[in-house]
């Protein structure tokens, strides 16, 4: 039986490995996600532990037979001064290892994230996905999310090589 719990220090190494799987999966969607050499220490030190130490952060793990098979990073954001957006919840990352996807773990984890946000008086939750990640977009739409913003990019390397803008 899958258990969803708050991550502890003993889970950090396993989360790091799932993070590497997560970015390698996204590498096929867009090469910008190609991992650098040894990306795990930077992620765990500069990103994961920030969430774990913050009162505004929540790190969950999905455990099956003492093995971490998924994780999520969520936080309360307090930006956009002067607008009604104000304080809101943000799901930074949710990753389930390949053999456990489409088994309900994501929904179970998201239920716990929602409970935490509600206990912190959050009434809006946002998530960002790669537009080409059909599985992720389908999952979040099934959870009731709708598109409200598009992030656009331009690769400046092509400008450097051609001299055109």
Is the CB of residue 26 less than 8 Å from the CB of residue 16? no
Q: Which residues pair with 91 in a beta bridge?
A: 74, 127
What is the CB neighbour count within 10 angstroms for residue 26? Answer: 20
pLDDT band at 140 (very low <50, low <70, confident <90, very high): confident
What predicted TM-score, i.e. pTM, was given to this entire model?
0.86
Does the structural domain 3-127 have CATH classification 3.40.1390.10? no
pLDDT band at 61 (very low <50, low <70, confident <90, very high): very high
Average confidence (pLDDT) over 123-150:
84
What integer pLDDT is reported at residue 81 of this predicted model?
74
Average confidence (pLDDT) over 92-116:
95
Helix (H, G, I), strand (E, B) or coil at 152: coil
How far apart CA 108 and CA 3 sit, in angstroms, is 9
- Which of the pair, 153 or 117, is modelled with greater confidence? 117
């Amino acid at each position: 039986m899958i258990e969803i719990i708050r991550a502890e220090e003993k889970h950090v190494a396993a989360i790091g490995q799932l993070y590497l799987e997560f970015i390698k999966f996204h590498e096929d969607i867009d090469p910008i996600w190609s991992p650098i050499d040894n990306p795990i220490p930077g992620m765990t030190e500069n990103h994961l532990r920030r969430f774990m130490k913050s009162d505004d952060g929540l790190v969950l793990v999905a455990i099956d037979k003492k093995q971490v098979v998924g994780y999520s990073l969520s936080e309360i954001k307090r930006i956009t001064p002067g607008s009604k957006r104000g304080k809101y919840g943000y799901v930074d990352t949710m990753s389930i290892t390949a053999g456990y996807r489409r088994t309900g773990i994501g929904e179970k984890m998201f239920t716990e994230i929602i409970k935490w946000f509600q206990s912190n008086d959050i009434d809006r939750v946002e998530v960002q996905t790669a537009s080409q990640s059909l599985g992720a977009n389908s999952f979040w739409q099934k959870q009731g999310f709708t598109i409200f913003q598009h992030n656009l990019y331009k690769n400046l390397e092509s400008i450097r090589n051609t001299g055109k803008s």
